[in-house]
Structure 1
């Protein structure tokens, strides 16, 4: 995909598979604020904490008129298990082919245990009710992040 999401621009159109048998389409975002948070992998410590933080604030996001979606390259089956384990009240998008990850430019060269590989850089995007990308957080540190995103969503 040649287009990438840019701040203060309408997000490019996309369609993606999500948990609960849902298909998420960017065109369905109209009229809603949306948080897309990209995370590296289901059932890892940081990703579990981040998902739990968004879960714990979910009613506050709803009260702010904001939908929340988690996104990773994990399969729908893995997402369903992760979602059920944590009791997540929002859907998780499976991006196994990295289409959405590349659209939001979150695939980065990473290093772990001395080896390099491409993976998801923990990142979050806030989209307004007109489908315009208003905020982005890159290289996210989990502690306090969901609260920061909620504050920004309320301010939109």
Structure 2
């Protein structure tokens, strides 16, 4: 499976999102874009990660940067998650794993001795020209949003 390459065009996407819309990479021309993939809405780590990006959202915006969260949850579940935690950014529903596969974030995982294919927490920073500038894989939530913000500031 091919991985997206740094300093090359980021993989395109078009997916249903919160706010009754479909979003594509082209919708973010002339903006930097942070895309964070997470396993599941309403779980502790995923909630904390979203809250961390929420709390820094205005600072990201001040650097011409938009944020998108992506998981396999339905738009309906995303809408509730977004509302409950007051996320100011949209969440994309990748039920068919098209975007997850394009960004190579579906990995073999283990929980309670069982193996399954799931989303590996990963974040991608795309610049205003649509090029992938930085990626974080196997993300640990603590301090991650701050680290991504520092990378945005250095663009």
TM-score class, shorter-chain normalisation, is: over 0.9
The structural deviation recorded for 1:13 is 2.3
CA distance in 2, matches of 1:106, 1:74: 15
TM-score, with length taken from structure 2:
0.97
- Report how many residues are paired: 155
Structure 1 residues 67-146: aligned runs within 5 Å: 67-146=66-145
**1:88-132 Cα distance to aligned partner (Å, 9 max, x none):** 000000000000000100000000000000000000000000000
Structure 1 gaps, min length 5: none
The structural deviation recorded for 1:34 is 0.1
TM-score, with length taken from structure 1:
0.96
Q: What value does the CA root-mean-square deviation take over the aligned residues?
A: 1.1
Aligned to 1:64: 63
Local SS of the residue matching 1:20: coil
CA distance in 2, matches of 1:133, 1:25: 15
The structural deviation recorded for 1:29 is 2.0
Structure 1 pair 80–34 and aligned structure 2 pair: CA distance change class (3 A): same
Structure 1 segments (4+ residues) deviating >4 Å: none
The structural deviation recorded for 1:30 is 1.7
Local SS of the residue matching 1:60: helix
Structure 2 gaps, min length 5: none
CA distance in 2, matches of 1:137, 1:12: 16
